[in-house]
């Protein structure tokens, strides 16, 4: 995690660093401190803006070198757009864009002046905190395996910045507003680390063990080994890992944060944690197979979400469950045609060993429902190539058995910018999963691959449990880069699920 970078808050009166950014609204509307700097430097901001035709458009920037009399080497002016018109997420994105502009410069410390006199929904302190979150997210990188740390051209070198000081009228208030936002950024960056980590380092046991890092935040962690899963009858999950030299695990994270005397039913998050997917006996082609180290992106999203909820002490009961396996071909591997028995009692004919994620989820979903009697279940999985064909790298696919749950997720999606597009569940897809030799088979043929995968999963969801499935094969790894994500492993879904919980399953009074 990029914990070598921090965001702190200081009063407007504090001296700015030699690299300083300030904000300008549309029409070059400046706040009090920015006006002061402009005046002191004989109008350097207004002159540079005029020369560069800078009008304060949202996220546009100009850079002024060595403005007179300020003791500042580089003054970056970032556009806010129309006064008060930005959403919370747009401030977060702006924070990412500003950090990007600062990172182009070699400096270990930079200042950002947030002196906006807002008429919108957000106070200057909230804006400062949101921008700070964007900076934390933008700063993330995965460079632990570079051994050369210096030299301008080294890919390892571009993280000179260690500290962003945000200057704002009431730094204490900004710090308080920043606390939960930082927790969420930490959860996202934790998830990114898991996705980026190669599979030789992060096997199923190691992935499961990573959840123990959440214990320090008050999360109860339980890890089930192969023996325990055998006892539970998880023949579906276990058949996926049986070809690997490294044993499977099921990690369970319990956060009991709901206040009040009555024990509330938890929301359950289930993640596909295939640490590497070779396809098994139905082996994949060589091209791009290295990307299959990210086939635990669903698990990472679940772990990162639990991290965020616990660190910000969310007023909710939540359980995260991740099935950790490796899909390998070997003399012990499951074969096409094999029939396995799932924990639910249903038998499954394995047609294609590369459709392994659903086999893992079948048992984890069942276990989650039997054990926790949840209010709802959401599973996240890099489940199908077909969802990428349908939706590309910007959208994840949303399948939901319950319209209210779907709408809540879509609303969280709109406010975080982690885009979801609803896909169909249909009896016709379900029928395609009927097997000639067992209760169900694990592939549904060539067409509608994401929808038949969802139909398979639904067979392992109990009648009255609202359930939704998010297929993030396109977004969890090598997704579209943006202002707040420059990483191959995006940590996609953490902000979405955190917002989903905050918006619909937490009482606002803390
Ligand atoms: N992990 C893959 C899906 C995937 C592919 C994720 C590319 C990210 C990038 C999954 O286990 C898989 O192999 N799915 C198969 C299913 C098929 C055999 C029915 C697929 O989509 O081709
Ligand atoms: Mn596969
Ligand atoms: Zn897979």
> How close is the Cα of 322 to the center of ligand 3, in Å?
14
Confidence of residue 83 (pLDDT cuts 50, 70, 90): confident
Centre a 10 Å sphere on the Cβ of residue 311 and count the other Cβ atoms it contains: 22
**Catalytic machinery residues:** 284, 358
* Predicted confidence (pLDDT) per residue in 387-444, tens digit: 999 999 999 999 999 999 999 999 999 999 999 999 999 999 999 999 999 999 999 9
SS3 65: strand
Report pLDDT digits (tens) over 179-237. Answer: 999 999 999 999 999 999 999 999 999 999 999 999 999 999 999 999 999 999 999 99
Q: Is the distance from CB of 327 to CB of 310 less than 8 angstroms? A: no
Q: 132 C-alpha vs ligand 1 centroid, how far in Å?
A: 37
Pocket probe mutation, ligand 1, options 271, 352, 385, 471, max atoms within 8 Å of Cβ = 385
Q: State the average pLDDT over residues 471-497.
A: 97
What confidence category does residue 13 fall into, taking pLDDT thresholds of 50, 70 and 90? very high
Express each pLDDT in 233-260 by its tens digit. Answer: 999 999 999 999 999 999 999 999 999 8
Give φ, ψ of 220 to 5 degrees. -85, 130
Angle (CA) 463-474-201 rounded to 5° is 95
* Encoded tokens for 180: 């939960």
- Taking CB atoms and a 6 Å cutoff, what residues make up the pocket around ligand 1? 277, 295, 352, 354-357, 382, 384-386, 443, 449, 473
Q: Provide DSSP, 270-282.
A: EEEEEEEE--TTS
- Pocket test residue of 360, 473, 476, 489 for ligand 1, highest count of atoms within 8 A of CB: 473
Indicate which ligand has the atom closest to the C-alpha of 476: 1
The beta strands (E) that lie in 161-232 are given as 163-168, 220-224
Closest residue CA from atom 22 of ligand 1 = 385
At residue 151, the pLDDT reads 55
């Amino acid at each position: 995690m990029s914990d070598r970078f921090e965001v702190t808050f200081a009063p407007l009166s504090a001296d700015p660093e030699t690299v300083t950014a300030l904000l300008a609204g549309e029409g070059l509307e400046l706040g009090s401190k920015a006006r002061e700097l402009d005046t002191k430097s004989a109008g350097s901001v207004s002159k540079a803006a005029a020369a560069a035709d800078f009008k304060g458009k949202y996220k546009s920037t100009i850079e002024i070198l060595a403005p007179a009399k300020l003791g500042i080497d580089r003054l970056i002016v970032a556009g806010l757009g129309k006064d008060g018109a930005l959403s919370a997420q747009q401030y977060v994105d702006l924070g990412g864009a500003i950090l990007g502009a600062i990172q182009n410069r070699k400096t270990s410390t930079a200042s950002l002046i947030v002196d906006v006199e807002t008429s919108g929904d957000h106070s200057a302190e909230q804006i400062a905190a949101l921008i700070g979150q964007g900076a934390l997210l933008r700063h993330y990188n995965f460079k632990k395996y570079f051994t050369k740390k210096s030299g301008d051209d080294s890919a390892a070198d571009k993280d000179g910045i260690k500290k962003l000081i945000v200057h704002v009228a009431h730094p204490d208030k900004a710090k308080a507003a920043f606390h939960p936002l930082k927790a969420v950024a930490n959860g996202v960056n934790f998830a990114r680390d898991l996705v980026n980590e190669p599979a030789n380092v992060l096997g199923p046991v190691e992935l499961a063990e990573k959840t123990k890092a959440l214990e320090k935040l008050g999360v109860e962690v339980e890890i089930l080994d192969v023996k325990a899963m055998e006892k539970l009858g998880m023949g579906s999950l276990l058949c996926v890992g049986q070809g690997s030299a490294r044993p499977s695990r099921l990690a369970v994270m319990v956060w009991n944060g709901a206040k009040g005397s009555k024990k509330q039913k938890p929301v359950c998050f289930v993640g596909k944690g295939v640490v590497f997917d070779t396809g098994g006996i139905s082996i994949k082609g060589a091209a791009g197979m290295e990307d299959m180290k990210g086939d635990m992106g669903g698990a990472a999203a679940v772990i990162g979400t639990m991290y965020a909820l616990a660190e910000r002490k969310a007023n909710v009961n939540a359980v995260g469950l991740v099935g950790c396996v490796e899909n390998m071909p070997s003399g012990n591997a499951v074969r096409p045609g094999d029939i396995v028995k799932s924990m639910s009692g249903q038998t499954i004919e394995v047609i294609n060993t590369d459709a392994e994620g659903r086999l893992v989820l079948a048992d984890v979903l069942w276990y989650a429902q039997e054990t926790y009697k949840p209010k709802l279940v959401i599973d996240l999985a890099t489940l199908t190539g077909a969802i990428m064909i349908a939706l590309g790298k910007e959208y994840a696919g949303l399948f939901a058995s319950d319209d209210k749950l779907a709408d809540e997720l879509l609303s969280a999606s709109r406010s975080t910018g982690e885009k979801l597009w609803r896909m169909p569940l249909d009896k016709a897809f379900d029928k395609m999963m009927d097997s000639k030799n067992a209760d169900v088979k694990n592939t549904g043929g060539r067409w509608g691959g994401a929808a038949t995968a969802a139909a398979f999963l639904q067979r392992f969801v109990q009648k009255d449990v609202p359930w939704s499935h998010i297929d993030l094969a396109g977004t969890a790894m090598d997704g579209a880069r943006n202002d707040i994500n420059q990483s191959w492993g995006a940590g996609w879904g953490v902000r979405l699920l955190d917002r989903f919980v905050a918006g619909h399953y937490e009482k606002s009074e803390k």
